[in-house]
Every structure is written in C-alpha cells, then in structure tokens.
Structure 1
Amino acid sequence: MDDLAHAQEAMAAVLADLAASDWHLPSPCEGWEVGTVVRHLVTGDRAFVTSLGGTAYDLPAIALQVDAIPLGELPAAYDAGAVALHEALTTAEPGTAYPTGIGPMPPAAIAELRTIESLVHGWDVARGTGRALEVDEAVAERAIAHSLALMDRLPPDRTPFGPPQPVPDDAPAMARLVALLGRAV
C-alpha cells in the first residue's frame, strides 16, 4: 500500500502542474495523448474499486463515464479514484481473489498492478509534458520485480505492453521499469 500511495502521489504531483494545452500533447503510449493516458488511469482505478467490491467490472461502461469528464477535471477525478482505491484495498479480504481483466487477483496483487500502472503512466504523462516523475528508487525497483511476475501471469493472447526496450543495466530504476514495459527511454 505504501508503494501505491507513493506512485499515486507522484502522479498527482505531475497532474497538478498541467496546463490546459498539455492534455492534447502526445505521450510515449503510441497513439495516446496525455489526456487519454490519464483517462486510462482513472478508468482503471474505478474498475478495480468495483472489483474489490466483489463485482466484475464493465470496463466499456466505466470508460464511457470517464470519457465524459472534462479534461481540466481529470486531476480531481484521479485524486478521488486514488482515495477510493486505497479504501477498497484496505477493506478487501486479503485471502480473497477478486475479478480482474487478467483473472482473479488478491488485493495485494491488485495494489502491485495499480502501482505499476501509476508509475509507468505517470512517467508517460511526465515525459509527454516535459516534466519529471519524482519516484523513490526502491519503489521503482519493487515495481520491476512485480512487473516481471505479472508478465508471467498474462494469458498468451494478452499483450498490454510493448516489447521490452534496451536500457543500460545501471540506468535508474524508473528507466529500467518503463523500458521493460515497452517505452524507449
């Protein structure tokens, strides 16, 4: 939970600094503008809150709701989603597997996945807008380990990330994380 909170706070700091002109800038996610990346994060948090409530989520319906949020209101929607996700994770039964798009997952694994999403897409938003995502090196190192484990769980037909990109072994952990998940650093 601490790593998730750290990742969400880092993302929120980037969002707090965005100008109206930043929302339509391209991000490192091919074909996605900055606003699209943020909508993806808000949609994901809402989906997992639903899941942690014991209900399988309807991702297209959630995405439609999030698409209706004006761009300038996305930072507040992200913050509200982070709070709701934190509350859902802290009240979820630790031994229960909840429905997700990659199969049933316990709360700890959901927290790890959302940490990775916040870090990598936070980096996307920061990079797309010429900002830095301030992340503790140890948090990013743990996200690398969790990413490798999650990649092993993905069904063969699921490829939510691009192929790993080259990066020096001694690069900062955030650079190695985003490269692992298909970003050119």
Structure 2
Amino acid sequence: MLIERAAAPLLDLIPALEPHLDARTPCTEYTVRGLVNHLLFWAPSLTGGATKVIVVPPDATEAELDLTTGDCLASLTDAVTTTVKAWSDPAAWTGMTHMGSPMELPASQVGGMIAGEFLVHGWDLARAAGRDLTVEEEVAEALLEELAKTAELGRQMNIFAPEVAVPADAPALHRVLGLTGRDPQWS
C-alpha cells in the first residue's frame, strides 16, 4: 500500500531524531519538535479518514498544544503505525471520507495526501537531522502524480509553499519536494 511504503522511511528515521528536536527544518515554520507536534496533532484525523469517521481536532490550535511531552518519538511511531494500519484496509480507499473537517473528499485523494504528508515531512525531519531520506523511486513517482492533483489547492490553503523549480529529469523525490515548495538541496 502507498501509505505504508511512504511511511516506512519516516518510521525508520524517528528513533534518530532525539538529539535534533530543536533543529530547524525545511518546513520553515517548524523545528523538529514542532513538526513532531504537528504530526501528532493531526494523526487522529488522518486515521479517522480511513474509517470514514470525522475526528475533529481539539478546540486548541496546534500551536497551543504541546504534544511533545514524555516520549514524543514513541508517540509519533505509534501514531504513524496506527494510521498506516487503518489505511491498510482496502475499504479505506473507497468512497468519500473526511480529514479533520466535515468537508468530504474522495478517500483515494485523502490517502494520497496522507502518503505525501508522511513522505514530505519525513524528508523535512531527515534533513533537519543531517540525513538523507531513502525513498523508493516508484513510491516517489506515485506521490508526484497524487500531489500534482492537489498542489494548487495546497498552495491556496497555505499547505504548500510556492513551487521550487526542479529539473524535469531530477529524481521523483526532488520533483515532489519542489512541487510542495521545498528546495531539495536544503541543508
């Protein structure tokens, strides 16, 4: 499944993040800790999308809640694993679903967005830790196709930054990063 394959590099990376929690990330509004908090904040909604259950985020904003107390990296591993498991059911990819709001979207589109979230934020976290993220070319190609469908909407919603020019013959991961407003050469 796409989400499982997109999440695998992130899951492999999580244990190495401990010494880097205060590092900057290519996702400019977040440090590593902030990005972990972001992923933990939205995890219930991402999982709920698989079961077609609207999981409304807490009344507090993501910035107002600190979900990184305790062993936040173990919590992140659990959250990502739970989301992957929920989306492993083929029924999760059918029909319409929600992602933290009453607005319905095609489940396959939501699944693609979640896979992109894991891949791109996995790369953000890897770069902040001074590492590369190894992603299967086939997975990156599939996500490039998926994210291209919603990139303009993502920019309108300030989810994606303006596109960064990347050569057409660059690896698919670099093209995904450029599409989402990241410089693949960020260090």
Using the size of structure 2 for normalisation, the TM-score is: 0.83
In structure 2, stretches of 5+ residues that fail to align are none
SS in structure 2 opposite 1:17?
A: helix
Could you tell me the percent identity over the aligned residues?
A: 25
Q: Do 1:92 and 1:107's aligned partners in 2 also have CA atoms closer than 8 Å? A: no
Q: CA deviation at 1:84?
A: 2.0
Q: Do 1:11 and 1:119's aligned partners in 2 also have CA atoms closer than 8 Å? A: yes
Determine if the alignment matches structure 1 residue 39 to structure 2 residue 37: yes
Structure 2 vs 1, CA of residues 14 and 94 (structure 1 numbering), >3 Å: closer, same or farther? closer
The amino acid across from 1:96 in the alignment is G
- Of 53, 73, 82, the match for 1:84: 82
In structure 1, stretches of 5+ residues that fail to align are none
How big is the alpha-carbon RMSD for the aligned residues of Structure 1 and Structure 2?
A: 2.6
**Corresponding position of 1:179:** 178
**Corresponding position of 1:121:** 121
Structure 2 vs 1, CA of residues 18 and 158 (structure 1 numbering), >3 Å: closer, same or farther? closer
Structure 2 vs 1, CA of residues 4 and 94 (structure 1 numbering), >3 Å: closer, same or farther? closer
Following the alignment from structure 1 to structure 2, what is the Cα–Cα distance between the partners of residues 67 and 28?
21
- How many correspondences in the alignment? 181
Q: Do 2:50 and 2:93's aligned partners in 1 also have CA atoms closer than 8 Å? A: no
How far does the alpha carbon of each residue in 1:108-141 deviate from its partner, in whole angstroms, 9 at most, with x for none?
A: 2222111100111111111111011111011011
How far does the alpha carbon of each residue in 1:72-108 deviate from its partner, in whole angstroms, 9 at most, with x for none?
A: 6222222211232233331755543112258312332
Q: Do 2:93 and 2:111's aligned partners in 1 also have CA atoms closer than 8 Å? A: no
The amino acid across from 2:127 in the alignment is R
Using the size of structure 1 for normalisation, the TM-score is: 0.84
Following the alignment from structure 1 to structure 2, what is the Cα–Cα distance between the partners of residues 28 and 145?
22
